[in-house]
Chain A
Amino acid sequence: MTKKPAPTKKAEVAGYNARQAPINAKLGNDELIALYRDMVRIRRFEERCLRSYQQGKIGGFLHLYIGQESIAVGVVSVMGKNDHVITAYRDHGHALAVGMGMNEMMAENYGKYTGCSKGKGGSMHYFDPSRNFWGGHGIVGGQIPLGTGLAYALKYKGLKGCALAFMGDGAVNQGAVHESYNLAALWSLPVIFVIENNGYSMGTSQERSSAGPSLAQRAEGYGMNWDIIENGHDVLEVRDKVAAAIKLAHEKSLPSVLEIRTYRYRGHSVADPDTTYRDKKEIEEYKATKDPLMFCQNQLLGEKVLTDELIAKIDEAARAEAETSAQFAEASPFPTVEDIQKDVYWEADNPADRKSQGTLFFN
């Protein structure tokens, strides 16, 4: 069955130009360069992760975000102090965008004690609540009720903030996602459901998994605001559209579903094949025409915000930062056997404040 390409909600206003949108027009050169740099840092970090994986330093799954960098960077760049992020296992981009450090991230991938979760979570399970980043979740769609709960708590406490709950195009078919849509719409919760539609869930294309004209349009069934960001590779368009949804959440406490069209270059995880279910040409074409880094680079070169020299410098710095993180991870200690039973119960970790009695662990 072939489907017609999904329609966008509104035909783009003729002459729409993300660069001219007020939220982008006001950006200074430094801010534009920072957006570019953040995307480069994600890519170089992940390329370094891939090498470490191939060397056997990283275990389990490694889901790379390469090709999707404009989304995490764009979204996080328009977040305010009380805005929160939660996502699935493809979480390196979001983590770097919110300001987590490469060292603690790489060390986590290596299973080291210096990792962001002390080596207990791994690549799929990064967290940093001090940066409003709530993971890093391994069960497809399982994080969406949690994101809805973050929004619930924000509203309960009377804070002007929102939760940005990310998921993939495969996750939209989970019941928990639909239950969350209903709760969010029913109670006017300030949550933005961000679907990073990279066209595939593992080896299954969107048209083989999802009914309906588009993923975002399902929001209509719940009376929710929705939009499709066709040019997800354009960090500036991401910023503009997401900022509008954030405004709606902040000012009217209304939820939204945003579907952002994007593409992943690598296999689902790096151990998976990447061309058995899709045409190599498809990947090459996307890379050639819509690579988020190149797109931004060309735009900023054209505006003379970036220079070849600066590009090289940014690239070199990102590579060095990633390399340093691999060295840091390598040099770090593994957790100890005693650490296995820490961070299970708050009470066990805070014995001075423990109120309960009795045995918590059974060995």
Chain B
Amino acid sequence: MPVISYREALRAAMSEEIERDPNVVLMGEEVAQFNGAYKISEGMLEKYGPKRIVDTPISEAGFIGMGVGAAMLGLRPVMELMFFSFYSVAFDQIFNNAANIRYMSGGLINCPIVLRGPANGGTNVGATHSHTPESIAAYHPGIKVVVPSNAYDAKGLMKSAIRDNDPVMFMENTILYGETMEVPDGEYLVPLGKASVLREGKDLSIIGHGRAIQMALKSADLLKEKHNISAEVIDLRSIRPLDEETILNSVKKTNRALYVEESKPFCSVGAMVAAIISDKAFDYLDAPVKRLNSIDAPAIYSMPLEKLQLPSVDRIYQAALETLK
């Protein structure tokens, strides 16, 4: 199998879907002539032309709203946010229009749009450029939310998201863009709403999403090495729909749970998962569900401090030990 990067996986997914369906169009700031701020769409303008790969002005509310309108009439726009953080400029278009249009029309209209871009901190770009709004997005019925943590999932989930008839917010990670792995050539899909068990274990379930769950694999190595603790590591991949079954089955087996994610703790995905576990698997728990998030403040700029604010292999490792106390 070819080894490709997360970035190339996204490009492959979008390219395959553009070739498959004439209604798919990629739009965003700098996606065409500039080849993408993070080079996700590199070479796509040359290959697919300006009808399919469209540079927009810096007008998130305008062009995302325009994409929503075009989706109502049958296009399948993939809208790149240069940073996902800029979603807030288009908040009304996303959460009032894309999320509600099906409902308010009594099911007469649907909105097959994908909003994608990097949603992560850790690159010293400060608070305005480091938002991780997956729980804010998933709060809204009508919206689907996907957060792939590796190249394989990025490709399979992107293809599923583009084919989905509901609006999907697809949150990537600039730090993962260059990460490589074996990815099959050609067509495959990863369904939304299906978690992946990255590692099986019996003493503790470490559940999470995004880059933090990749770190958790290394934390699990340490737990094994130093304490002979066997941690199960589960990557949700998709936040809404949510794979409750995989979460609950794991917790029922290990009796302990730790949720890891980059978002801030208040009303985070981990808070939701903790509530679900306590509601549906309370009797199986040997300890409170623990959560490990970024330290609760706006994203700090200072390089060494930002590393400390975010989840890290060590912070996850320590949190796991506390769960096992």
Which of the residues B62, B73, B194 comes within 8 Å of A183, measured between beta carbons? B62
Interface centre among B71, B72, B75, B141 (most CB of A within 10 A): B72
Q: Which chain A residues numbered 13 to 68 have a C-beta less than 8 Å away from chain B? A: none
| Segment of B30-38, B101-109, B121-129, B254-262 engaged in the interface with chain A | B101-109
Complex CA–CA separation, A139 to B93 (angstroms): 10
Q: Mark A93-122, 1 if CB is under 8 A from B, else 0.
A: 000000000000000000000011111110
**Given A118-B106, A125-B104, A146-B65 in contact, is the A183-B57 Cβ separation under 8 Å?**
yes
Question: Would you call A149 and B141 a contact (CB within 8 A)?
Answer: no
Question: Would you call A180 and B65 a contact (CB within 8 A)?
Answer: yes
- Contact of A270 with B by CB under 8 A: no
**Given A343-B102, A347-B164, A357-B191 in contact, is the A149-B70 Cβ separation under 8 Å?**
yes
Measured between C-beta atoms, what is the minimum distance from A319 to chain B in Å? 28
Measured between C-beta atoms, what is the minimum distance from B100 to chain A in Å? 9
Interface centre among B65, B68, B72, B193 (most CB of A within 10 A): B65
Q: Mark B107-131, 1 if CB is under 8 A from A, else 0.
A: 1111000000000000000000000
| Segment of B147-155, B172-180, B236-244 engaged in the interface with chain A | B236-244
Complex contacts, A128 vs chain B, CB 8 Å: 108
Measured between C-beta atoms, what is the minimum distance from B73 to chain A in Å? 4
Q: Which chain A residues numbered 139 to 162 have a C-beta less than 8 Å away from chain B? A: 139, 142-154, 156-157
Q: Which chain A residues numbered 171 to 185 have a C-beta less than 8 Å away from chain B? A: 175-176, 179-180, 182-183
Complex CA–CA separation, A152 to B25 (angstroms): 12
Complex CA–CA separation, A345 to B193 (angstroms): 14
Complex CA–CA separation, A115 to B107 (angstroms): 12
Complex contacts, A176 vs chain B, CB 8 Å: 61-62, 65, 92-93
Q: Which residue on A lies nearest to B111, using beta carbons?
A: A346
Complex CA–CA separation, A259 to B56 (angstroms): 27
Complex contacts, B193 vs chain A, CB 8 Å: 356-360
Measured between C-beta atoms, what is the minimum distance from B207 to chain A in Å? 14
Q: Which chain B residues numbered 188 to 244 have a C-beta less than 8 Å away from chain A? A: 189, 191-195, 238, 240-244
| Segment of A129-137, A261-269, A307-315 engaged in the interface with chain B | A129-137
Q: Which chain B residues numbered 54 to 70 have a C-beta less than 8 Å away from chain A? A: 56-57, 59, 61-70
Measured between C-beta atoms, what is the minimum distance from A267 to chain B in Å? 24
**Given A142-B97, A152-B70, A153-B69 in contact, is the A361-B106 Cβ separation under 8 Å?**
no
Question: Would you call B62 and A180 a contact (CB within 8 A)?
Answer: yes
**Given A142-B65, A145-B64, A346-B166 in contact, is the A118-B107 Cβ separation under 8 Å?**
yes
**Given A182-B59, A344-B141 in contact, is the A127-B109 Cβ separation under 8 Å?**
yes
- Contact of A355 with B by CB under 8 A: yes
- Contact of A349 with B by CB under 8 A: yes
Q: Mark B68-94, 1 if CB is under 8 A from A, else 0.
A: 111111110000000000000000110
Complex contacts, A147 vs chain B, CB 8 Å: 69
Across chains A and B, the number of contacting residue pairs, with CB separation under 8 Å, is 195
Q: Which residue on B lies nearest to A145, using beta carbons?
A: B65
Complex contacts, B189 vs chain A, CB 8 Å: 355
Measured between C-beta atoms, what is the minimum distance from A276 to chain B in Å? 29
- Contact of B144 with A by CB under 8 A: yes
Q: Which residue on B lies nearest to A176, using beta carbons?
A: B61
- Interface residues of A toward B: which range? 35 or more
Question: Would you call A121 and B164 a contact (CB within 8 A)?
Answer: no
- Contact of B249 with A by CB under 8 A: no
Complex CA–CA separation, A129 to B110 (angstroms): 11
Q: Which residue on B lies nearest to A136, using beta carbons?
A: B104
Which of the residues B59, B92, B107, B238 comes within 8 Å of A349, measured between beta carbons? B107
Question: Would you call B63 and A153 a contact (CB within 8 A)?
Answer: no
Question: Would you call A182 and B62 a contact (CB within 8 A)?
Answer: yes
Complex contacts, B276 vs chain A, CB 8 Å: 362
- Contact of B20 with A by CB under 8 A: no
- Contact of A320 with B by CB under 8 A: no
**Given A153-B69, A346-B165, A358-B242 in contact, is the A127-B104 Cβ separation under 8 Å?**
yes
Complex contacts, A121 vs chain B, CB 8 Å: 103-106
Complex CA–CA separation, A157 to B192 (angstroms): 29
Complex CA–CA separation, A147 to B69 (angstroms): 6
Which of the residues A149, A186, A344, A355 comes within 8 Å of B160, measured between beta carbons? A355
Question: Would you call A362 and B102 a contact (CB within 8 A)?
Answer: no
Complex contacts, A135 vs chain B, CB 8 Å: 101, 104-105
Complex contacts, B164 vs chain A, CB 8 Å: 347, 355-356
Which of the residues A127, A149, A182 comes within 8 Å of B71, measured between beta carbons? A149
Complex CA–CA separation, A344 to B70 (angstroms): 19
- Contact of B96 with A by CB under 8 A: yes
Complex CA–CA separation, A120 to B107 (angstroms): 10
Complex contacts, A139 vs chain B, CB 8 Å: 92, 96
- The 10 closest A-B CB pairs, nearest first, are A149-B69, A145-B65, A179-B62, A358-B193, A358-B241, A146-B69, A343-B107, A117-B106, A118-B106, A356-B192
Besides A346-B102, A356-B144, 6 other CB < 8 A contacts?
A117-B104, A118-B107, A135-B105, A350-B165, A356-B160, A359-B193
Q: List 26 A-B contacts (CB under 8 A).
A: A117-B106, A120-B106, A121-B104, A121-B105, A125-B105, A127-B109, A135-B101, A145-B61, A145-B66, A146-B97, A148-B65, A148-B69, A149-B70, A153-B72, A176-B61, A183-B56, A183-B62, A344-B103, A346-B165, A346-B166, A347-B165, A355-B192, A356-B160, A356-B241, A358-B238, A361-B141
Report A's interface with B, CB cutoff 8 A: 84, 86, 115-121, 125, 127-130, 134-139, 142-154, 156-157, 163, 175-176, 179-180, 182-183, 186, 342-347, 349-350, 355-362
